[in-house]
Each structure stands twice: as C-alpha cells, then as structure tokens.
Amino acid sequence: MEILKVLQKKLDLNENDLPEFEAVLQEVKDITEKYHIQFSENAELVFDAHIISFILRLKSKEVLNGKFDDCQKEIESSVISIAEEIVTYICKRYNSEMDKAEVLLIAIHIQAALVYRE
C-alpha cells in the first residue's frame, strides 16, 4: 500500500505496526467503497492518517479534547451512519468503547470528500 509507506515516513510509524495498520485501512476502504465514497489522492492520505491516529489514540487511551455536538447538525445523517460503521469496526477490533466525537471526526472527512472532490 503506497500511501502507508508515505505515512510511515510522515508519522514516524514503526515498521512492525504496518501490517496491522494495512489490515485496518483495507477494511475501512472496503466500507467507504461499499458506499461509493471516493477520496482525492490528498484527501485519502489525510483520511488514512486520521484512521492511524485514531488507532494510536485507542491504544494509548487518549480522549479527544473538546465538545463537538453542535457540529453534528451540519453533517448528513447517512454520512454519520457510515462513520459509525467504521468506528464500530475499529473499536471492536481494539476492544474499546465507541466515542461519538471520533464518529463525527471521521464523518467530516467523508462529508468533505463528497463536497470538495478535486
């Protein structure tokens, strides 16, 4: 996966963790493709970086700083559902509770891909 190699350098990822990240990114890609979500090259890079950062937050038990409920009304409900599917899969894999803020952050990436297609 070419993007993962780029992200390894940019995010200073451990070589040993790459197969695990690759498996998760592929599963997430399957979900987005199922709903015909298409990212531009740059948008895909930052989306994948976000997913990896999310995994690292789960592993380190880092909780997001901030309240985002007021943003939910600006995001399409169908996009929230896709994001929930992604977060549910990842949280299950890492045995963690689903965080609504994480759903919203992923939903914004997806909504941005739909709105700002380059």
Partner 1 sequence: MKDGKVVIVIGDRMGKGLHVAAGIEEAGGIAIHIPGLAADLKLGDVMVQENADLGLSFCGSGGAGALMAENKYGMKSTHHLRSIDAGITALKKGSQVLGFGFIDNKELGRRVTEELIALKKKEQENDLKE
Binding positions for partner 1, rule: CB under 8 A: 10-11, 42-43, 45-46, 49-50, 53-54, 57, 64-66, 68, 71, 74-75, 101-102, 105, 108-109, 111-112, 115-116
Give the phi and the psi of residue 40 in degrees, each rounded to 5: -70, 170
Neighbour tally for 34: CB within 10 Å: 10
Residue 71 makes CB contacts below 8 A (sequence gap 6+) with: 104, 108
Of the candidates 27, 97, 20, the residue with the CA atom closest to the CA atom of residue 58: 97
Residue type (1 letter), 34: K
Give the nearest distance from C-beta 109 to partner 1 in angstroms.
8
Measured from the CB atom, the residue of 57 and 93 that comes closer to partner 1 is: 57
Give the nearest distance from C-beta 85 to partner 1 in angstroms.
18
Measured from the CB atom, the residue of 9 and 36 that comes closer to partner 1 is: 9
Give the nearest distance from C-beta 22 to partner 1 in angstroms.
18
**CB of 101 closer than 8 Å to CB of 68:** yes
Measured from the CB atom, the residue of 4 and 101 that comes closer to partner 1 is: 101
Measured from the CB atom, the residue of 15 and 118 that comes closer to partner 1 is: 118
Diameter of the chain by CA atoms? 40
Give the nearest distance from C-beta 43 to partner 1 in angstroms.
7
